[in-house]
Structure 1
Amino acid sequence: MERVKPGLTKKLAHRWHGPFRIKRKVEEFAYELELPDKSGYRFYPIVHVSRLKEVNEYPSRPKTRLTFDFDEELLPEDSWEPDHLAGEYEVEAILDDRMPLSTSTERAVREFKVKWVGYEEPTWEPSSNLSCGGLLYDYLRAKKSERRLQMVQVADED
């Protein structure tokens, strides 16, 4: 795709990149750009507002975003229940975690000791096998706060 519009010089075309979407406002004069995955762009995605130029490719396109307001009473009862896939087990609790030693060919992957619903024995599973984002988040948050408490207690002892 040609980066320069017809009739314009290509002399400084290498100085312009984009167009990119703005991901978020970082500071008053800085924005983070949404770069395409696996792109050849080798620059930091946070740029100063003076380096940005508005692109108006589709002026006739409406600019307002629609907000969806669902009325909970109109939704079916089972709409709040997660869909369980066939062959997927339900996690009851996360009991512990460990980081096995890495080999020279393979990176170490954190494993979690998981108690499954309907089973007696817990198993060690990598995080990629787990589909319980909420339980995992709660476990990691509780573990982090527990570590902080231990650090404070150790500092108080000294």
Structure 2
Amino acid sequence: MVWLSSKNIKSTRPPKKLSERWLGPFPILKKVSTHPYHLKFPYQWKSIHPVFHISLLEPVKTSTIPNWHQEPPPPIIIEEEEEWEVSQILYSKRKRRKLWYLVEWQGFSQDPERSTWEPAENLKNFPELVKNIHFYILTSQAAIIQELDFLWCLVGRGITKGKFHSW
């Protein structure tokens, strides 16, 4: 988990000095190269490119107070069963013909090790979160396909790697 500097991100707040200096925290999806990192943003941030240089990121620091940790919220009791509230769905995958989702639980967002893989039938009460993760994955895949199509067109026209920049 990392904090993202708001230095280059436009805000709707009129005075910049009252805006947050750090946004997040956000989980890291992957290390792209030596310096850029790909972050997992919520659906509402779909218009912001999720790859950032390491200089704009700050690791989330855990408490330095010994033997102290924040207690997660208690489970909700529904029909004599414990239920936990879903914070967000981070990813999805298919395993043995079943759809599974990586779930971040409310109150455990600072601890990525507490995220669990849950079968789709366990998330029937969260259709909006399921829809958002599928939309995020589809748009990410569409962007990759579009970039590959562009590069394939350049290769087809005989433009070599040294003659163009991919920015």
Per the normalisation by structure 2, the TM-score is 0.39
Greater length-normalized contact order (CA 8 Å, ≥ 6 residues apart):
2
Kindly name which structure, 1 or 2, has the bigger radius of gyration based on alpha carbons: 1
More strand by share: 2
